[in-house]
Amino acid sequence: MRNITWEELEAWVRKENGTSPKKALTRATELNKDLDVTGDDAVDFMQHFFDAFSIDHGDYSFDRYFVAEGFSPVELILLLVSKKKRASYDRPPVTLGMLYQAALDGQWNCSRLESLLHP
């Protein structure tokens, strides 16, 4: 385990994402839902995270956690009418707790980090 504090991670997230100091950040805070880190922004955010904290990418895959940007009008209609299509967009969230644990471990390990979602 490395010596990184929660406060260091929180400060980095606030700076990287432009998050207001008034917004409460917890280990349960989700990048996508709570901080609006999606699409190309998520690509950049996660790469900067790996670089800033010298984390081995391990088994991290963008597609496991995020949906790429860009919708066609047909895709939008299918999302509205098809449960199966909507389900194809379901992804496990990336939480700040997961980022913190990865920073402590120095590596992204999907099963370890996703186990934090269901304590």
DSSP sequence for 35-77: H---HHHHHHHHHHHHHHTT-B-TT--HHHH---S---HHHHH
> Each residue of 100-110: pLDDT tens digit?
999 999 999 99
Confidence of residue 89 (pLDDT cuts 50, 70, 90): low
pLDDT at 79: 53
| More confident position, 18 or 74 | 18
pLDDT at 50: 98
pLDDT at 34: 97
| pTM summary value | 0.84
